Amino acid sequence: MLSKGLKRKREEEEEETLGVDAWWLDPGHPAVTQAPPTVASSSLFDLSVLKLHHSLRQSEPDLRHLVLVVNTLRRIQASMAPTVTLPPAPSPPVVPSVTDNLLASSDAMLSASMASLLEDLSHIEGLSQAPQPLADEGPPGRPVGGAPPSLGALDLLGPATGCLLDDGLEGLFEDIDTSMYDSELWVPASEGLKPGPEDGPDKEGAPDLDEAELDYLMDVLVGTQALERPPGPGR
């Protein structure tokens, strides 16, 4: 049930973000042609991180898909490395600091999270040993202001939606009944959240995102996470 809801929410969020974001994929769009390459790279970066998380959330990730996304992410990261700030237009002032944090911390954080997640994949192979405690949570003192990847993509919508971190997100999910997610399996908001819109407006930063991610993965490995897989095809 939970995983089904999680998937639904993710797809819904993806539909929403991608539906609104479609303009930046259109090479003919004036904003895109005028936008510097860094903006497009940043969008691709966010999209790739989204894909990476989505892929890792599968009970048994498609290794080829995972490896290709990770390698693409590395390429994008490498090209973005010298660029620390985004240009002011069309993004509002609040965005550069958010993305700054994401970019600045992303290197160590992302590689640490990817490393630990890939390491966990190798542990899936030999389950005679107990799953390793997921201690690789990235460098200490991570900036709290970092936004989850989905927010990063939304940030590029333009000045009208610049203050997404404040009210916009709540508005987006007003129509969603979150009562089904009031469950003790969910980590309380103050301790760090799973990267999903159903967590409500109290978004913690990307660093907690990875910690929750790793916890979730560990739960799956030890079987404490309820497995509510949707029924197989044709059944």
Partner 1 sequence: MKCFSRYLPYIFRPPNTILSSSCHTEADIISTVEFNHTGELLATGDKGGRVVIFQREQESKNQVHRRGEYNVYSTFQSHEPEFDYLKSLEIEEKINKIRWLPQQNAAYFLLSTNDKTVKLWKVSERDKRPEGYNLKDEEGRLRDPATITTLRVPVLRPMDLMVEATPRRVFANAHTYHINSISVNSDYETYMSADDLRINLWNFEITNQSFNIVDIKPANMEELTEVITAAEFHPHHCNTFVYSSSKGTIRLCDMRASALCDRHTKFFEEPEDPSNRSFFSEIISSISDVKFSHSGRYIMTRDYLTVKVWDLNMENRPIETYQVHDYLRSKLCSLYENDCIFDKFECVWNGSDSVIMTGSYNNFFRMFDRNTKRDVTLEASRENSKPRAILKPRKVCVGGKRRKDEISVDSLDFSKKILHTAWHPSENIIAVAATNNLYIFQDKVN
Binding site for partner 1 (CB under 8 A): 18, 25, 27, 41, 44, 47, 51, 59-60, 62-65, 67-68, 70-72, 75-76, 79, 114-115, 118-119, 121-122, 124-125, 127, 220-221, 223, 227, 229, 232-235
Nearer to partner 1, 193 or 217 (CB): 217
Question: What is the smallest separation between the CB atom of 33 and partner 1, expressed in angstroms?
Answer: 13
Residue 8 phi, psi (nearest 5): -60, -45
Residue 33 corresponds to which amino acid? Answer: T
Question: What is the smallest separation between the CB atom of 95 and partner 1, expressed in angstroms?
Answer: 21
Nearer to partner 1, 140 or 233 (CB): 233
Nearer to partner 1, 126 or 188 (CB): 126
How far apart are alpha carbons 157 and 17 in whole angstroms? Answer: 9
Question: What is the smallest separation between the CB atom of 17 and partner 1, expressed in angstroms?
Answer: 10
Q: What string of DSSP letters covers 110-167?
A: HHHHHHHHHHHHHHHH-TTSPPPP------SS--TTPPPHHHHHHHTT-GGGTTIIII
- What count of residues does the chain have? 235
